[in-house]
Amino acid sequence: MQLSRRRIRSRRVASLASVAVLTLAVSTSAGTGHLITGSTTPGPVAPAREALRACMIHGSSSVQMPEGIPTPAGYVRSTGTVHALNLMVDFSDAPGQGGAMDRFGEFFPQTRKWFTTSSYGRLDYRPEAPIQHWLRMPKPFSAYGLERGAPFDPGYRRLVQDIVAAADPEVDFRRYDLLNVLVTPNAGPSALDTVLSVTFAGNTDAPIADGVPLSNASFIYSRQDDGSGSYARTGYRVLPHENSHTFGLPDLYTQEGGAAVGHWDIMSEDWGADNDLLAWHKWKLGWLADSQVSCVSTRGTSEYTLTPLGLAGGRKLVFVPISSRAGFALELRTRAGNDATMCRPGILVYRVDADVDTGNGPITVHDAQPDSGGCTHSPNVQGEMSDATFLPGQSFTDPKTGIVVTVLDRDDSGNFRVRVTRR
Ligand SMILES: [Zn+2]
């Protein structure tokens, strides 16, 4: 069975309810949210960063989960070694089926590999499972009231407290940066009907374990299995999506579904074939060095060579700020790295708005072929936006600012040259 468009939409609305939960949790954030404190002190600003200052857009403080750079404190650091604690939990009314490590195996090693590939090795994500059996919760699943859009209080607080009580004899929570609760898939509704999976990020009001608050935790339910036979390859992808919230990334899908960004970022679509993150997100997470980013902040015409986002090295992002809060980004997407279904390799143009909150459309991809129907028919991939890229000879013009981007050519190595003009 393939997910119908209607299905995808209802799923997205379901998740948006979770977004409200998540932002609520974020709003309680103050100070560090790392399970292990430290490493949040900013160092001196390097010269390369100084040249990018005009492109480090940021939103107002009322935005809960902003696209701006730098990411506010409270989230998990997104470079270096990150230790993820995985606990597999079940309930008397939903006893674990099969082994707990089989559930772990639905997400690993794929999630670690996804992060290694997407970050070019800058994030060393270490999944750990110190308890290799199901952790039975003291109350039945139904008693926690964990429905779609359930807030942290009281259900999740009670669940986290019970998880801590059950795991504490065997787990030193201070050793970990984030928590994944891999719930037995038979607890709650099918993900085809309602996606319960949710992340509470930067929530310093969370229960304390071994002296640290469990501020950044992802809860994974059911299986993202559309029946197309791809579950073994793609079902894990809900976890890199949820964990990316713990690194501070917002949701890019909106109440209308995934049409704003399509399949160009896992924060827009985490069902279906593998996809990557936008270059903007990679810079925000510290996976692109400042030397791989060009900031077009002065008037005139300039040319840049972009290398494929899926391959390590070279320039990945050209950003044209239009205010202190928004701008246009350019990047080259090809079938490489985590991008598995690219059907029109080319330059992606999108607007980033740091003043727009998670789930409200902080990023909008500009479709180079509007109303074309797209070039992919992969299940669970937003079709229309799949051919959004610009090819040599095509131009993008923003009528409001007069910014013009022209794709000039593609060289023998597959790099693209672009010309940017701003008045
Ligand atoms: Zn999300």
Give residues whose Cβ lies within 5 Å of ion ligand 1. 251
Say how many Å lie between the CA of residue 198 and the centre of ligand 1: 7
Decide if 305 is inside a domain: yes
How many Å apart are CA 177 and CA 334, to the nearest integer? Answer: 33
- If asked whether residues 170 and 286 sit together in one domain, one would say no
pLDDT at position 314: 98
Same-domain status, 10 and 98: yes
Look at residues 203, 223, 246 and tell me which one is the last residue of a structural domain: 246
Alpha helices in 80-223 (DSSP H): 100-105, 110-118, 157-167
For residue 47, say if its preceding peptide bond is cis, omega within 30 degrees of 0. Answer: no
181 alpha carbon – ligand 1 mean position (Å): 15
* 252 CA from centroid of ligand 1 (Å): 8
Q: Do 108 and 152 fall into the same domain? A: yes
346 with 414, same domain: the answer is yes
Cα distance between residue 103 and residue 99, in whole Å: 7
- For residues 259 and 262, give the distance between their C-alpha atoms in angstroms, rounded to a whole number: 5
Instruction: Judge if 208 and 63 occupy the same domain.
Output: yes
Closest CA to 388 of 361, 418, 368, 358: 368
- 399 alpha carbon to ligand 1 midpoint, in Å? 32
Minimal CA–CA distance to 322: which of 127, 54, 8?
54
Identify the pLDDT of residue 43. 53
Tokens of 379: 């299940």
- 171 Cα–ligand 1 center, Å: 27
Task: Output the CA 202–ligand 1 centroid distance in Å.
Answer: 14
Return the beta strands (E) in 346-394 as ranges: 346-353, 363-365
Q: What is the predicted pLDDT for the residue at 45?
A: 64
34 alpha carbon – ligand 1 mean position (Å): 19
Examine residue 261 and state whether it is found in any structural domain, yes or no: no
> Which are the contacts of 262, defined by CB distance < 8 A and separation ≥ 6?
268, 269, 365, 381, 382, 384, 385, 386, 388
Q: Are 116 and 231 within one domain? A: yes
Q: Are strands 208-209 and 135-136 parallel, antiparallel or unpaired?
A: unpaired
Ligand 1 center to residue 350 CA distance, Å? 20
Give the strand pairing for 346-353 and 326-333.
Answer: antiparallel
State the Cα–Cα distance between residues 371 and 361, nearest whole angstrom. Answer: 20
Which residue in this structure is represented by tokens 């060289």?
411
Which residue ranges of the chain lie beneath pLDDT 70?
Answer: 1-45
Evaluate whether residue 115 is within a structural domain: yes
Instruction: Please report whether residue 270 resides in a domain.
Output: no
Q: Which residue has the tokens 């939960």?
A: 21
Full residue range of the structural domain in which residue 313 is found: 279-422
Q: Tell me, yes or no, whether 315 and 417 share the same domain.
A: yes
Query: For 250, which DSSP code?
Result: P
Count of domains in the chain? 2
In a domain, 258, yes or no: no
On whether both 162 and 241 belong to a single domain, the answer is: yes
**Cα 411 to ligand 1 centroid, rounded to whole Å:** 37
Same domain? For 234 and 284 the reply is no
Residue with tokens 């023998």: 412
CA of 242 to the centre of ligand 1 (A): 6
Between the CA of 302 and the centroid of ligand 1 the distance, in Å, is 37
Tell how far the Cα of 80 is from the centroid of ligand 1, in angstroms.
Answer: 23
Check residue 260 and give left, alpha or beta (phi > 0: left; psi -120 to 50: alpha): alpha
List, in sequence order, every residue forming a beta bridge with 419; answer none if it has no partner. Answer: 303, 406
| Last residue in a domain, options 229, 246, 263 | 246
Tens of pLDDT along 219-273? Answer: 999 999 999 999 999 999 999 999 999 999 999 999 999 999 999 999 999 999 9
**Cα of 346 to ligand 1 centre, how many Å?**
27
- Residue 264 lies inside a defined structural domain of this protein: no
**Residue 24 C-alpha to ligand 1 middle, in angstroms?**
14
pLDDT at residue number 341: 84
Q: So what's the pLDDT on residue 42?
A: 47
Tell me, in angstroms, the distance from the centre of ligand 1 to residue 216's CA. Answer: 13
Render pLDDT for 6-63 as a digit per residue (tens, 0 to 9): 233 333 333 333 333 333 333 222 222 333 333 334 456 677 788 899 999 999 999 9
Q: Distance (Å, rounded) from C-alpha 316 to C-alpha 191? A: 35
Residues 155 and 80 in one domain: yes
Say if 263 falls within a structural domain: no
**What would the DSSP string read from start to end of 264-302?**
S-TTT--SSS-----HHHHHHTT-S-GGGEEE--SSEEE
Q: Report the 10 Å Cβ neighbour count for 48.
A: 12
Query: How far apart are the CA of 208 and the centre of ligand 1, in A?
Result: 24
Same domain, yes or no, for 148 and 227? yes
Classify 12 as helix, strand or coil: helix
- Token pair of 254 as six digits: 């909106």
Give the distance (Å) from ligand 1 centre to CA of residue 22.
9
For 41, other C-beta atoms within 10 Å of its C-beta total 6
Residue 143 lies in a domain: yes
Q: Is 80 exposed, middle or buried (0-12, 13-18, 19+ CB in 10 A)?
A: exposed
Same domain? 229 vs 315: no
Distance between Cα 169 and ligand 1 center (Å): 32
